[in-house]
Amino acid sequence: MRAEFQPRSIAFRLIVAVLAVELVSSVVVVFLSFGYERHAHFKSFDTLIHGRADEVMAAIGDADDAQNDVILDQSVLHFPPDEVYEAFDDTGQLLGRSPNWQGAGAAVLPGSKDGFVQLEVNGRAFRAMHVHGGRFAGERVRGGGKLHTVSVLYGGPTDHVWHAIHGAVEFYAAGSLLLLLVTGPLIAWLLHRGLLPLRQLAALAAKVSADAWHFDPPANARTTPELAPLTEAMESVLQRLEKAFLQQKTFVSDAAHELKTAVAVVKSSLQLLNMKRRTGAEYQAGLERCLTDCQRLEEIVVKMLTLAREESSRNAGDEPATNLAGCARESVSQLDTLAALRGVRVTLVEWDAVVEAARIGLAQGDCLLLVENLLTNAVQHSAPGSEVEVRIKMDGLAMVLEVEDHGDGIDPEAMPHVFERFYRGDPSRTRNTGGTGLGLAICKAIAEKAGGSISLTSESNRGTTATVRLPVVVGVEQTVGR
């Protein structure tokens, strides 16, 4: 059965990686040291052999005979007993050789150039050198005497050279191994200490829970260049999670409050009808009240589902291109009745052909929902006889939708909360203006899904302006540039 792969810690992998690099480096050092020691020792050996070959050459002199021959005077030669030599004249006549050797044979007879050859003497490897030179025999008078070309072959065993080379390489290898054994635990200890801020950071993050969001990373985590980005990212993520969690708790609490209130109203209406016998008209009125409250309950549920859908589909994919100007006209048409009932005029401020041609990345239904929610808020908070203006303009490659009313405005203390779920500026939650407190939250979710933004500006007793900025999509660059 195949064993499952067990992931290793970062510290373990770093230690293995460093030790592997050290091991490879040690092998390279040993290899290079072998090459260097071989070169250095054999260079010294070759210099020594060359020098002793020259000594043999210097020992060749006049034989003092009638033929003007040359002779090797071995009495002046004192070499180590394990080294060998021999000398020849230009006729191939042996002039002399070391007593511990029978000669190299014809295979390595001296040539015309100096050089080294490899020999085997008594089962041992030797390195030898040919040296050529000239020697004069006889008296140099009236053309007398004779010039001889002589050759010397001198060699020495190489086993002691190789022993020295191997000894040096073994020293380098032992030193590298010792260094590896010492640095291994040292690296492990240093890494353990170096990763201490990371472990402290992990321990603090592990203490964060739904009931305890406090996260105070150690100072060394903030000052360490490698950990500072992680620390900042964790703080940012935890802050966003805490905010989202609190929003979720608030949403659940507010939703429960809204639904409980609506259900309690329906229940009280039914209990009131059931307390005693009623006339048909009283039953009819009671049922109508129950129906109205049920419709309000249904509206709350629908808007909660809508908000959940919009938030869950953020960045879910490319949305079809939609004409914002067309959505604005359709929304105004659908809200004509509500505006007329409240005595409010809704005016579409004229825009240019570029606005008509531009498209935004929202589905038609989302675009209509965005504009209708903003218009509904504006109409509901406008005084009878006032006007609501709808403007659309281009700002670079973005479209800006403005919905302005001339109502009482928004209390400055309420402005930071206007986009919160179920938030309404009326602390007593009266229903003077209707609504569930989800409209602006839905608008914000739709705008952000399209990559845009929404904001409110308000002046007391002068009105409120909702501004939505949405990026344009395919083909608008050419339209804007005309």
DSSP letter string over 468-482?
EEEEB-TTHHHHHH-
Q: Are 16 and 145 members of one domain?
A: yes
The token pair at 372 is 């209708």
* 157 closest CA partner among 274, 281, 49: 49
DSSP secondary structure string for all residues of 60-128: EEE--STT--EEE-GGG----TT-EEEEE-TT--EEEE-TT-----GGG---SS-EEEEEEETTEEEEE
Q: Are 295 and 364 members of one domain?
A: no
Task: State residue 467's pLDDT score.
Answer: 93
> What does the alpha-carbon distance between residue 61 and residue 89 come to, in Å, rounded to a whole number?
11
Q: Which residue has the tokens 């043999």?
A: 56
Task: State residue 127's pLDDT score.
Answer: 93
Domain boundary among 142, 166, 190: 166
The token pair at 4 is 């499952």
Query: What amino acid occupies position 276?
Result: K
On the CB side of 105, how many CA atoms lie within 13 Å of its CA?
Answer: 5
> What does the alpha-carbon distance between residue 204 and residue 202 come to, in Å, rounded to a whole number?
5
Domain boundary among 166, 188, 210: 166
Is 177 a domain residue? no
Is 201 a domain residue? no
Please work out, in degrees rounded to the nearest 5, the angle formed at the alpha carbon of residue 417 by the alpha carbons of 373 and 398.
55
Q: Are 411 and 295 members of one domain?
A: no
Q: 51 and 85 in contact (C-beta within 8 Å)?
A: no
On the CB side of 281, how many CA atoms lie within 13 Å of its CA?
Answer: 0
> What does the alpha-carbon distance between residue 167 and residue 174 come to, in Å, rounded to a whole number?
10
Q: Are 305 and 321 members of one domain?
A: no
Environment class of 341 (CB within 10 Å of its CB; exposed 0-12, middle 13-18, buried 19+)? exposed
The token pair at 425 is 């500026």
> What does the alpha-carbon distance between residue 435 and residue 310 come to, in Å, rounded to a whole number?
19
Q: Are 303 and 447 members of one domain?
A: no
Q: What is the CATH number of the domain that holds 364?
A: 3.30.565.10
The percent helix, strand, coil of the chain (3-state, each to 5) is: 50, 20, 30
Is 268 a domain residue? yes
Per-residue pLDDT of the chain (482 residues), as tens digits, is: 454 545 667 778 888 888 888 889 989 999 999 999 999 999 999 999 999 999 999 998 887 777 778 888 888 889 999 999 999 988 888 899 998 888 876 555 555 567 888 888 888 999 999 898 888 877 665 556 788 888 999 999 999 999 999 999 999 999 988 988 888 888 888 888 877 777 778 888 887 777 777 777 877 777 778 778 888 888 888 888 877 777 677 666 666 766 776 787 778 878 877 787 878 887 788 788 888 778 777 777 776 777 766 666 655 445 678 888 889 999 888 888 888 888 999 988 888 888 888 888 888 888 888 898 899 888 988 889 899 999 999 888 889 999 999 888 888 888 887 887 776 655 444 444 555 677 788 888 888 888 889 999 988 888 899 999 999 885 454 444 44
* 306 closest CA partner among 368, 361, 241: 368
Query: What amino acid occupies position 409?
Result: G
Query: What amino acid occupies position 300?
Result: I
Q: Are 325 and 474 members of one domain?
A: yes
> What does the alpha-carbon distance between residue 110 and residue 101 come to, in Å, rounded to a whole number?
17
Q: Are 461 and 477 members of one domain?
A: yes
Q: State which residues form the domain around 62.
A: 11-166
Enter the DSSP assignment of 97. E
- The neighbour count for residue 286, using CB atoms within 10 Å, is 16
DSSP secondary structure string for all residues of 118-139: EEEETTEEEEEEEEEEEEEES-
Domain boundary among 309, 333, 368: 309
Give Cα separations from 108 to 124, 130, 208, 285 (angstroms).
Answer: 17, 9, 87, 134
Task: State residue 90's pLDDT score.
Answer: 82
Is 357 a domain residue? yes
Is 184 a domain residue? no
Identify the H or E element spanning 71. Answer: strand 70-72
Task: State residue 428's pLDDT score.
Answer: 40
Query: What amino acid occupies position 217?
Result: P
| Number of separate domains in the chain | 3
Q: Are 234 and 285 members of one domain?
A: yes
